[in-house]
Chains A and B, each alone.
Chain A
Amino acid sequence: MISRRRFLSMSSAAAAFVLPVLKSSRAQAQTALPKRVVFFHTPLGTVREGWLPTGSETSFTLSPILQPLAPYKDRLLIIDGLAFDPIAAPSGATTGNHKEPGSMLTGRSCEGRDEASKHTNISVDQWLKGKLPSSVRVKSLELITAYRSDYSLRADRSLFSALGPNLPVIPEADPQRAFDRTFMGVTGAGGTGSMPDPAAERLRLERKSVLDTVVKELTGLQPALTGFERAKLDQHLTAVRELEQTFQPPTSGTTMVQAGCVVPSRPAAVPQYEMGSLPARLKSHLQLVAASMACDLVRVAVVGSENGQGRASPGWLGSGFDTNWHDAFTHNTTGHSQHQAIHTWYAQQFAYLVGLFKAVPEGNGTMLDNTALVMFSEQGCRYSSSGPSEHSHAQLPYVVAGSCGGHFKQGRFVSVGTKSHKDFLFNCIRAMGFSDSTFGNVSGAPLPQLVA
């Protein structure tokens, strides 16, 4: 077998010519700092009474679940009242349970019967990715903490991102693979940026010839196809051209880095199916998101955690948790405190992410100033007071950290009444600097209550 290690040694052949982080526009113009958005998912809905802050918009007390975010309270926008809106469903589709993940970022319900149901729109992260300049090399990360062969991820509608209807983006679960894909051939501060040696240059040209041949094959096949089949082939062509770009030579004689760019070392391997490996995988994912954004390789990221029917066993929270969470703590009346403990743990992880962004200097402040870190769940509040657990589509819990260049209010707890979750996606679009009132086939407008 060709082991992953062997492929990596091939990748390091690719890195034989060192590809420095390319200068982005901000290096020339301090005013144009990159903006970024990160969607951080917490599964299975939260515990309402443990999540909802008390007090007014400007003077509020953090709930127990959100306590880990207390150090960043003045940077938070806590949003209550977003809901799956039936209008988000295409006509004839049902907003049935289990379709939520694939609907969260597309703004539109997945269509079709349960596990065979499919995305009906491009997701906002992929739409934003398409708007980014080519100088941002990797552009987006789609990460997940569970493996596809786990029960929940076997259906396409469990995936957050899509390139369009029927085109799910498969997230990466393996930290090392995600790292290799992002940082292959990149050196940060102190990178040499020297001209490539002749052997490396020859390799680069040979690879270009190979990919040129592949492009020729793809374009030769295009005329035989129309509609969706043609779109699939076009996507393949785009992917190969993106790959070709990564083999472009570095600009000669320049060593360019973002101020806060530190290329991290390759993360440790995380066992694939071992219970309890989720925290290590999530932490690695969060570090990759922060590091890649600090180097301006990436501006959009989605970090999914085992989705709606995730079966992780959060044994790291202590005895009594070493069983699959979905089965043990959601479909019953007694899982209330465990569910709250799990979501408190997720808030801790989100606080860790906020801390990573706040630690990267940028402009006159930190990277957090120019980022929206969005913590959300694909379901509403799972428990209310002592009531039963619900598969709720209302009162989705959202927390935004960072204003993304001034768009989002900070230090606020805002109740929006009842608004469609898709409207929030337009806040993200606006925050990222785009004035569009549609993405894909979804139209909307940002919620003014959230805007600073």
Chain B
Amino acid sequence: MARSLVIAALLSVACDGSIIAATPGASAGPPGSTPPMVGGTGGSGSETGSGGSGTGGGATNCESAVPPARLWRLSHAQYDLTVQALLGTTDAPAESFELQAAGSGFQNGADTSYVSANLAQQYFAAAEGLAAAAMRAPAKVLPCTPASPADTACVKRFIDAFGRQVFREPLDAARAATYFSLYQSASTPARGVELVIAAMLQSPYFLYRRELGAPAAHGATVPLTSYELASALSFLLWDQGPDDALLDAAARDAVPGEVERLLADPRAKGFAWRFFSQDFELDRISHLTKDVTVFPAFTDALQADLSAEAEAFVNHVTWSSTGTLSELLTADYSLLNARLGALYGVTVSGSAFTKTALPSGQRSGLLTQAGLLAVHGDDRSGSPVQRGLFVRSNLLCQEMPAPPPNVADTLELPGAVKTTRQRYEAHLQNPTCSACHKLMDPIGFGFENFDGIGRWRTTENGVAVDVRGNLSTTKTIDGPFTGAVELGQRLASAPEVSDCVATGWFRYALGRVETHGDGCSLATVRAKFKDSGTRLSELVRSIISTPAFNQRVKP
């Protein structure tokens, strides 16, 4: 998702080149409401990551404060996948729901997702439609066929069993009775069942993931209940609600034993793609607009292929190779079909995406896939600023300030000079601009072998491209480099890059920006990710073991 300026930011970069520790939590809490759980003093938790012992509580100089109980509304994607699993339908009504608040930089952040009047109406219409459709094949949801309104046993079984699936935990007797009286209010048994389904699909117990813990005194720290933990895990790994086996495990308080099964399940296939498609903004590939007079090759079909390539590649690395961030950033292959083979300069036949070696020395994993390069570009050309900003903010977790108000932001139009680099070098001549742009553009210049839609080039307008770049103001990888492959290797080797991706994933998994109180949790996650050789599955395992994920403080 678009977090180009946002997200990563445990650190801010001042434009004099110094790195300043930002204050995690500054934007985490809703203004005017309960303040985020930030301790009074102490350094930012972010700075403890590299030295974390991996034991969380043992890490020094970090804070550990458990976050408050909350509700988290299902994302639209989660809604669709979950109703499909519940009802055996292929309907995807949430595709036409109102758009989602962005919150923490990822879609559907916990802080800003709520149910507006508009969305309530859409939930209503969807629930009616889904319930009506379900009643065309009632055997899928009904354990029995109610013979008459008097056949209460069957209906009560249905309410208990279906309700447990919809609400992701058993209903208590009072709530079951509420649904039973709704059933009784209908004119026929079938209509009664339909109304019950429609109401359940609008219940807050369905629409929100509950992270409340068992009843306890105000201020008490409690673990998520087994059912809540089951939901938290299945939504993180599968993007949908728990299956029966997981709910059964919750009933036995045996959810932690299910983690490996969940990770191995086909429903987990997209867990890494769901993160990277938002984090690297790859979900924008399919509806980018480019100037067609400059890039006639950038057709809808090509965009669809580039999007599919990115997804197939992430899934391949995750499931058929090392499963590491390092490989995602450095692979010298991709998954291509014939049309993309032509774009990348290799021969591939057919429309299926197959693993294909790329021309030697040209590409470096996701960083240099044409889709990502097109996303971080302008309408008519590639953009060293956007590409450099992407590396700076999304891989180094350094926030660049927005351009100040009332500053001239002029830039020569393409055509005035020969190469994109020359055009952007104007930034660096102007002291007002260069203060900040020297932190972005010199990284972006390393991508000058790629045009605005990611095609390889060695010249631009007849002039040889200059791909010398420079990294500065990093912790460990400062210095000049030449071209994107060297840049990719440098980044993949850097602990601060693995820390940054760990931080992004932490935010994605929790639906919020970290606070000071997450310091120890985050330090542990970063250390474990690094120690595992940047294995993504290990990153997820470590996140779900933190108090930030599995404990809450009672309101």
Interface residues of A (CB under 8 A from B): 1-2, 4, 6-7, 10-11, 84, 90, 92, 95-99, 111-118, 120, 147-151, 153-156, 163-170, 172-173, 177, 181, 202, 206, 209-211, 213-214, 216-218, 220-221, 224-233, 235-236, 238-240, 242-243, 246, 273, 275, 311, 313, 322-324, 327-328, 330-334, 387-394, 441
Contact = CB atoms under 8 A, between A and B. Distances in A.
A97 B402 contact: yes
Contacts of B378: 324, 327
A248 to B, nearest CB: 15
Contacts of B203: 213-214, 217
Interface in B80-139: 90-93, 95-96, 98-105, 111-112, 114-121, 124-130, 132-133
B320 interface: no
B321 interface: no
B204 to A, nearest CB: 5
Contact of A118 (B30, B90, B91, B293): B30
Contact of A169 (B1, B116, B291, B293): B116
Interface in B343-379: 378-379
Given A166-B30, A226-B555, A331-B411, A324 B3 contact: no
A211 B198 CA distance: 9
Contact of A166 (B112, B117, B130, B399): B112
Given A115-B4, A156-B101, A229-B71, A243 B120 contact: yes
A357 B345 CA distance: 58
Interface stretch (B150-158, B182-190, B266-274, B307-315): B182-190
Given A164-B32, A209-B185, A240-B120, A225 B71 contact: yes
B117 A232 contact: no
Contact of B406 (A11, A239, A332, A391): A391
Interface in B172-223: 175, 178-179, 182, 185-187, 191, 195, 198-199, 202-205, 212
Given A149-B284, A217-B203, A227 B555 contact: yes
A391 B405 contact: yes
A285 B112 CA distance: 26
Contacts of A333: 410, 412
A239 B405 contact: no
A169 B116 CA distance: 7
Interface stretch (B5-13, B239-247, B474-482, B518-526): B5-13
A242 B120 CA distance: 9
Given A243-B117, A330-B409, A275 B289 contact: yes
B98 A206 contact: no
Q: Most chain-A Cβ atoms within 10 A of its Cβ — which of B90, B114, B195?
A: B114
A224 B104 contact: no
A311 B405 contact: no
B299 to A, nearest CB: 13
Interface string B494-508: 000000000000000
Contacts of B70: 229
A43 to B, nearest CB: 15
Contact of A170 (B1, B98, B126, B175): B98
Interface residues of B, number: 97
Given A227-B68, A232-B115, 19 more contacts: A1-B91, A10-B125, A10-B132, A95-B405, A113-B5, A113-B399, A114-B402, A115-B105, A149-B283, A150-B287, A170-B98, A170-B101, A209-B186, A226-B34, A228-B34, A230-B555, A242-B120, A332-B411, A441-B32
B69 A390 contact: no
A169 B117 CA distance: 10
Given A155-B102, A210-B199, A394 B406 contact: yes
Contacts of A154: 1-2, 102
Given A154-B102, A240-B120, A391-B409, A96 B401 contact: yes
B379 A390 contact: no
A202 B68 CA distance: 44
A298 B101 CA distance: 24
A98 B402 contact: yes
8 contacts: A7-B96, A113-B5, A113-B9, A181-B118, A224-B555, A227-B34, A232-B114, A333-B410
Contact of B129 (A10, A112, A387): A10
A213 B406 contact: no
A323 B295 CA distance: 11
B328 interface: no
A156 B291 contact: no
B40 interface: no
- Which interface residue of B91, B120, B378 has the most chain A CB atoms within 10 A? B120
B112 A1 contact: no
B178 A216 contact: yes
Interface in B388-430: 399, 401-413
A147 B411 CA distance: 27
B125 A7 contact: yes
A235 B555 contact: no
A97 B293 CA distance: 31
A106 to B, nearest CB: 11
B410 A224 contact: no
Counting from the closest, the 10 A-B pairs by CB-CB distance are: A112-B27, A388-B408, A148-B99, A228-B33, A166-B30, A239-B120, A115-B6, A114-B5, A154-B2, A226-B555
A210 B407 contact: no
B186 to A, nearest CB: 6
B31 interface: yes
B502 to A, nearest CB: 18
Interface in B216-239: none
B379 A170 contact: no
Contacts of B407: 390-391
Contacts of B116: 163, 169-170, 235, 239
**A217, A231, A275 interface centre (most CB from chain B within 10 Å):** A217
A166 B69 contact: no
